[in-house]
Amino acid sequence: MAAGVRDRWRRFLSHAIVALCLVAVLLALVPLAMVLFYVMSQGITSLNWAFFTHMPAPVGETGGGMANGILGSLMVTSLGAVVAIPVGVMAGIYASEYRGTRLANGVRFAADTLNGVPSIVIGVFAYGIAVLPFKTFSAIAGGVALAIMMLPLVTRTTEELLLLVPSSLREGALALGATRARAVFTVVVPAALPGIMTGILLALARVSGETAPLLFTAFNNRFFNSDPRQPISTLTVQVYTYAISPYKDWHRQAWAGALVLVMMVLTCSLLARVATARMERMQRGS
Amino acid sequence: MKNTRADYLLFRVGTGVFALLVITVVVAIGWELGWQSRLSIKAFGWQFWQTGTWDPVAGQFGARPFIWGTLYSSVLALMIATPIALGIAVYISELAPGWLQRPLVFLTELLAAIPSIVYGLWGVFVLVPYVRQLEASTPEWLKSVPLFTGPPLGVGMLSAALVLSIMVIPFTSSIAREVLRAVPQAQREGAYALGATRWEAIRMALFYARTGIVGAVMLGFGRALGETMAVTMVIGNTPQVSTSLYAPQYTMAAVIANEFTEASDELYLHALIEIGLVLFVMTLVINMISRAFIWSLGQQGRRRPSRRAAPAAAEGV
């Protein structure tokens, strides 16, 4: 009898916990749905062509857009990518080719460490090395900050994906008389390219929404600027400035900016997903 | 032959330089932050972390409220996020039907992909009004509890903790999921064979993976400590040490974000950078510990079967 009660209790407890796990999933999905819903509904009503083509309107006037911020974001992110991709890919190649050496372990450790450093701290560092010596905020400084944020992701994905390339490919190249560099650059890296692209896209998705490291590196600019040595407006910083302002029309534009940001990040993530799927298919095929 | 050796060397050095560069960046961050905060370190020493006056005009800088705000908001966020994140991890890895696993993984990853500034915007215009309503409807008898004192402002610790918890959930749950996936299937089958219910089998898997789970939670903690934009926008930015969830407070990351460009004199700037330095060291230590936990689980998984198999075989004989 006692055993029967105990069994029923155990079964009840099991069902209750399973139900609680489901509740946990729903609890996380509610804010996700809410955020997406508000960004969509508030953003779409405020988003218009002028948002992409016009400059910010002066305080008090309605209308205008974030053309300079969008271009600025593209510029700062590109500057970051131009630095982070070659460095990250080469460091990743070293880490996978010389796996087990002290330097390779060091790179892996450094990349993981860097990945956990708060973005605001990276902003402070970029300020120290790229703003203070030149005494001016600049698009380049913003690019430096974003490059440091992208670096660990690119390094680690390159390393991990190169290790997935079947060793028979490399051995084939070496057997045909290729040097190590040649085998790596013409056979191993191309085989892992879709995966490396995924890493780069994920890194881009991550930094294209970053605000904190740009606040005091790229700073902000009311006007259009194409000189990388000058402060530049970015979409994220613009959204922040507008969100904390007291003006209704600026809030509206902040939502529009948020929608554009979410779209950009989602596009990068989806492209990354497509690239991963292709990589997986290729691996199954081989 | 000689040519090949030169080529080999060139390749190793050529890629090695970049590898070294990645390591240099991490070292440089620590060095630069230390150097750029020297004035503040020299002027205030340990006092910096023990006093609470933050008065840039008088040149008095005490960072206690910021450290308090960072730790308090992160711990609160963790208390909300951990059970939810673990529930999600358990659901996805142990309970969900196969067709549901991928979409759920995608959705939780989406939670991590949304930029901090978007959470902040949503926090300011959607969450804060809700929180204000909730705070305004506090029953009288609760108001004397230190957690619920103060006027219902909406912006404050509660809003910050809620936004933070949403942002931490995907990190903790994805690591916890991976950790659970590393639990050998035989462990679960063994539990079921002994007549365990579903929960008992899950509890066993969680226990087996406990070090990894702790690592996952700590990783979330590291994320929460450094989160900037969303917290800055909803916490109220008032440097005070208070246990009240309703009180507007301040965090280390938020004060850097808000005041960095306003820092007019060098001491002020160095004080802000010192806060950055400590934030850097804190996240560094937490991340290292959490990785050590997750790593040790991997080692345990590799070692355990052989260690266990031996005595079992001996008993069999």
* Yes or no, beta carbons of B122 and A34 under 8 Å apart: yes
pLDDT the model gives residue B303:
47
CB contact under 8 A, A209 and B288: no
Among the partner-chain residues B108, B116, B273, the one whose CB lies closest to the CB of A124 is B273
Residue identified by tokens 């902000």 is A220
Residue B166 backbone phi and psi in degrees, to 5: -60, -40
Which two three-digit tokens encode residue B135?
């705070």
Of A24, A103, A266, the CB nearest to B84: A24
Q: Which residue has the higher pLDDT, B79 or A57?
A: B79
Mutate which: B25, B101, B124, B206, vs A, most A CBs within 10 A: B25
Chain segment B24-79, per-residue pLDDT in tens: 999 999 999 999 999 999 888 888 888 888 888 888 898 999 999 999 999 999 99
| Pick among B121, B175, B255 to test the A interface (most A CBs inside 10 A) | B121
The mean pLDDT of B143-150, rounded to a whole number, is 83
Does B4 or B214 have the greater pLDDT score?
Answer: B214
In this complex, do B15 and A91 lie within 8 Å of one another by their Cβ atoms? Answer: yes
* Structure tokens belonging to residue A105: 């372990």
Q: Which of A17, A114, A179 sits opposite B26 (nearest CB)?
A: A114
Instruction: Test A98 with B12 for CB contact under 8 angstroms.
Output: yes
Contact B116 A112 (CB under 8 A): no
* Average pLDDT value for residue range B175-195: 90
Q: Which of B8, B21, B126 lies nearest to residue A179, judging by beta carbons? A: B8
How far apart are the CA of A29 and the nearest CA of chain B, in angstroms? 8
Fold exhibited by the domain A71-285:
MetI-like fold (1.10.3720)
List chain A residues with CB under 8 Å of B228.
118-120, 211-212
CB contact under 8 A, A87 and B21: yes
Residue B61 β-bridge partners: B54
Contacts of B10 (CB under 8 A, 6+ apart): A181
Residues whose CB falls within 8 Å of the CB of residue A38, separated by 6 or more in sequence, listed in order: A255, B122, B125, B126
Q: Rounded to 5 degrees, what angle do the CA atoms A133, A137, A140 make?
A: 85
pLDDT the model gives residue B46: 87
User: For residue B265, what pLDDT band results from cuts at 50, 70 and 90?
Assistant: confident
Q: Do A152 and B22 touch (CB under 8 A)?
A: yes
pLDDT digits (tens, 9 = 90+) for A81-125: 999 999 999 999 999 989 889 999 999 999 999 999 999 999 999
Looking at the DSSP assignment, which residues form a beta bridge with residue B270?
none
Cα separation, A69 vs A55, in Å, equals 9
B285, B287, B288, B294 alpha-carbon torsion, rounded to 10° = 150
Q: State the pLDDT at residue B312.
A: 36
Q: Which residues from B are below 8 Å from A158, CB to CB?
A: none
Identify the CA nearest to B230 among candidates B202, B261, B200, B251.
Answer: B251
What's the pLDDT score for residue A282?
65
Q: What mean pLDDT comes out for the span B133-155?
A: 85
**Which of A38, A87, A94 is facing B122, going by the closest CB pair?**
A38
CA distance A107 to chain B (A): 6
Q: What angle do CA A113, B221, A160 make, to 5 degrees?
A: 35
B279: closest CA among A121, A125, A124, A127? A121
Q: Is the pLDDT of residue B313 over 50?
A: no
Q: What is the pLDDT of residue A178?
A: 86
d(CA B275, CA B252): 6
**Residue A7 scores a pLDDT above 70:** yes
Q: Where are the domains of chain A?
A: 71-285
pLDDT band of B275, cuts 50, 70, 90 = very high
Q: How far is B85 from chain A (nearest CA, A)?
A: 7
Mutate to test the interface with B, among A124, A131, A280 (most CBs of B within 10 A): A124
Q: Which amino acid is at A203?
A: A
Residue pLDDT, tens place only, A134-178: 888 999 999 999 999 999 999 999 998 888 888 888 889 989 988
Our measurement of the distance from residue A217's CA atom to the centroid of its chain's CA atoms, rounded to an integer in Å, reads 18
> DSSP secondary structure string, A85-118?
HHHHHHHHHHHHHTTTSHHHHHHHHHHHHHHHS-
Q: How far apart are CA B140 and CA B156, in angstroms?
A: 20
**What letter does residue B150 receive in the DSSP assignment?**
S
Q: Write the single-letter amino acid at B60.
A: Q
Q: Is residue B225 over pLDDT 80? A: yes
Chain A: closest CA distance from residue B316 (Å): 31
Q: What is the ipTM of this complex?
A: 0.91
Contacts of B11 (CB under 8 A, 6+ apart): A179, A180, A181, A184
Comparing B312 with A111, the larger pLDDT belongs to A111
What residues of chain B lie within 8 A of the CB of A103, using their CB?
16, 19-20, 23
Asked if A240 and B117 touch (Cβ cutoff 8 Å), the reply is yes
Distance from CA of A11 to the nearest CA of B (A): 7
Residue A285's pLDDT band, with cuts at 50, 70 and 90, is: low
Comparing alpha-carbon positions, the chain A residue that sits nearest to B281 is A117
Closest partner residue to B118 among A112, A181, A258, by Cβ?
A: A258
Residue carrying structure tokens 């989602």: A266
Residue-level pLDDT at A2: 61
Of A12, A159, A181, the closest CA to residue A91 belongs to A159
B291 contacts on A by Cβ (under 8 Å): 112
Contact B261 A216 (CB under 8 A): yes
What CA–CA distance (Å, rounded) separates A253 from A255?
5
User: Confidence class of residue B284 from pLDDT cuts 50, 70 and 90?
Assistant: very high
A26 vs B263 pLDDT, higher one: A26
Between A178 and B307, residue with greater pLDDT: A178
Q: Which domains does chain B have, with CATH numbers?
A: 37-301 (1.10.3720.10)
**Per-residue exposure over B76-98, b if at least 16 CB sit within 10 Å of its own CB, e if not:** bbbebbbebbbbbbbbbbbbbee
How distant is the Cα of B169 from the closest Cα of chain A, in angstroms? 8
Quick one: tokens of B154?
Answer: 């909406």
Give B169's DSSP letter. Answer: H
Determine which of A198-202, B26-30, B61-65, B226-230 has the lowest per-residue pLDDT on average: A198-202
Considering only residues A236 and A62, tell me which one the structure prediction assigns the higher pLDDT: A236
Half-sphere exposure of A63 (CA within 13 A, CB side): 5
- Structure token digits, residue A265: 């990040």
Q: How far apart are CA B79 and CA B86, in angstroms?
A: 12
Q: Which amino acid is at B193?
A: A
What is the rounded average pLDDT for all residues in chain A?
88
pLDDT tens for B84-117 read 999 999 999 988 888 999 889 989 988 988 999 9
Chain B closest-CA separation from residue A282 CA (Å): 20
Contacts of A17 in chain B (CB under 8 A): 198-199, 202
Q: Residue A85 and residue B97: Cα distance in Å, rounded?
A: 39
Inter-chain contacts counted by CB atoms under 8 A, chains A and B: 259
Q: How far is A64 from chain B (nearest CA, A)?
A: 20
Percent of chain B whose predicted confidence (pLDDT) is above 70:
93
| A91 neighbors A155 (Cβ within 8 angstroms) | yes
Cβ-Cβ contacts under 8 Å, B260 against chain A: 124, 127, 215-216
